[in-house]
């Protein structure tokens, strides 16, 4: 299995009010659909397009961020059929699910950090920091 492409199809950012002291950040990554993708009919490679959404909400009503996109992966025919069969039941193989979620999170978290910096919001996850030895 190999990542071919990850593209953003929508980025929606709304900041309603300045950040306050007490707030919560909720995020959700959702796989919307998985379909067979015909990129090169002469190729022996088989492709899947995974459509997804990732939302981050700063509550109470501080800001909302929505990112949507598509992830295209290349895999063999047996894997492709297995994934499409399980997806018909809206289920995914655990290893496949972990792989695609990590790819999506890696790309989205970079984009989100840029947006949060531009719009003066705290990061949606704890960034690593250096602390003195005790």
68-91 residue pLDDT tens: 999 999 998 899 999 999 999 999
Residue 131 — φ and ψ, nearest 5°? -125, 150
11-70 residue pLDDT tens: 999 999 887 888 999 999 999 999 998 876 666 788 999 999 999 999 999 999 999 999
Residue 65 is predicted with a pLDDT of 96
Note the Cα 58 to chain centre separation in Å.
Answer: 18
CA dihedral 58, 51, 31, 66 (to 10 degrees): 10
Note the Cα 108 to chain centre separation in Å.
Answer: 6
Q: Where are the domains of the chain?
A: 2-118
Q: In what order do the strands lie in the sheet with 46-59?
A: 2-15, 63-75, 46-59, 24-37
91-101 residue pLDDT tens: 998 999 999 99
Q: What is the DSSP letter of 121?
A: -
């Amino acid at each position: 299995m190999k990542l071919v492409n990850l593209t953003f199809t929508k980025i929606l950012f709304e900041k309603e009010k300045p950040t306050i002291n007490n707030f919560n950040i909720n995020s959700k990554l959702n796989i919307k659909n998985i379909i067979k993708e015909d990129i090169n009919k002469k190729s022996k490679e088989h492709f899947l397009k995974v459509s997804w959404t990732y939302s981050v909400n700063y509550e109470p009503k501080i800001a909302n961020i929505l990112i949507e996109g598509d992830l295209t992966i290349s895999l063999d025919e047996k894997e492709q059929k297995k994934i499409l069969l399980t997806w018909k039941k809206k289920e995914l193989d655990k290893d496949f699910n972990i792989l695609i979620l990590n790819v999506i999170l890696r790309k989205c978290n970079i984009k989100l950090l840029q947006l949060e910096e531009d719009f003066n919001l705290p990061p949606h996850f704890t960034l690593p920091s250096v602390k003195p030895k005790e």
